[in-house]
Amino acid sequence: MSVYYLRSIIYEIAQEIKKLIEKNSITNNKRIFLYGLDIYSFAMKTILANDGFKIDGYLSNDMEQIMTYRRQAKASLRYLNSTRDMIHISDIEEKLVPFDSSIVVLSASKNCPISRMTDLNYQVNMHIFQVFDWEQNSFAETMSDKKRMNIKDIQSVAKEILCKVDAFCLENDIRYWVCGGTLLGTIRHKGFIPWDDDVDIFMPWDDYKRFISEFSKKGMYQLISPENVDRRDFYGLFSKILDDKTMVVENEPLVRFIHPVAIDVFPLVGVPDKEEERRLFFRRYRELMQQVTEDFYANNGDYNVYNKWYPAQKEFLEKYHFAESNFVGVLGTGYGERDYASASVYDATIRLPFEDIKVNVPIGYQEYLDNLYGKDWMELPPEEKRKSHHGMEAYWL
């Protein structure tokens, strides 16, 4: 098993559709319907369009969802050139009755009501095609004889990595600070947020580059970054330090990540001084990422597009020097343009307890946390929100 790799669900769907085209199961004289109103059906529409096919509409088993989409489509009519631009959404019987042998239904849904269609005389692998197998899970098979890690196990491994990174940075005079949920946990809980299962740190760009170069030589843990890995396997704009005694799968809507337990290392870069220019800077970066996403879909979910786009992303990282900027931040996180603060936040470092070790915290942590979480970040969230944002299964190797 590779130490870190991705399964692109969109790419696998595209490959299945390609096979159906090659077998003439999908042709221009067939009426093509997509089951579901989700990112997978919308991705299938793009994949088919890339190969010159148009769809006849979407099918759903949820009448409430159909009515909602129809109301939205009607409200959007004034923005469309013609009714041909509308997305047509129908209940199954509306389009599949009476039986029509020219109809092809494609589904990537986990819950496609195939029996409802077969009752109408449509046959699986002749009229109905499931283009992604959600039951197939080679990772689970590989891990079948391994012990599953609980959240305390994951936290323990991540803390051990952090401890080694902390010692290395202190010894080599490399600046770093805990950030994101790890910083919030340090201040509010003196350790992990109880339901959090990862560790985040960041470093000024120059320190970050030196850390990547020098830490990799020590061989304590494997470090991967956009600089030293094929981005078909790792498309993040930051680095990870991995513990190869473990293995994790993270299930997200478009991708399945397979990797060891890791901590994230983000580059901290300069951003413009003026508020309007700063907003423009973050907006242009969002637009760049939108271009990457569009290219990803245009190439049927092939992550190789991230190799092509990394130089343009790196330009943003190097545009404003950390030491010469009055404001600094991180690009590519879920916090967007909230992920910046005054450079004075990092004028000094304090050492604070994190579980049974100590870590680096920026002197102006309150401004940083206010930006990310609002001024009430010391208050615990409601019970229902106290859960990890990762869909993670972790195992001891």
Q: What CA–CA distance (Å, rounded) separates 58 from 32?
A: 9
Q: What CA–CA distance (Å, rounded) separates 43 from 13?
A: 9
Specify the pairing of strand 239-251 against strand 255-271.
antiparallel
Would you give the distance in Å from CA 125 to the centre of its chain? Answer: 32
For 182-284, strand residue ranges (E) read 200-204, 222-224, 239-251, 255-271
Q: What are 54-63's pLDDT values in tens digits?
A: 999 999 988 8
User: One digit per residue, pLDDT tens: the chain, 397 residues?
Assistant: 357 778 899 999 999 999 999 999 999 999 999 999 888 999 999 999 999 999 999 999 888 877 887 676 555 444 444 444 456 889 999 999 999 999 999 999 988 999 999 999 999 999 999 999 887 767 777 888 999 999 999 999 999 999 999 999 999 999 999 999 999 999 999 999 999 999 999 999 999 999 999 998 887 899 999 988 889 889 889 999 999 999 999 888 888 889 999 999 999 999 999 999 999 999 999 999 999 999 999 999 999 999 999 999 999 999 999 999 999 999 989 899 999 999 999 999 999 999 999 999 999 999 999 999 999 999 999 999 898 877 789 999 9
395: β partners: 148, 247
Give the mean pLDDT of the chain.
91
Rounded to two decimals, the pTM is 0.88
Amino acid at 39: I
Q: How far is CA 53 from CA 18, 43, 45, 164, 182, in A?
A: 12, 13, 8, 54, 48
Q: What are 285-309's pLDDT values in tens digits?
A: 999 999 999 999 999 999 999 999 9
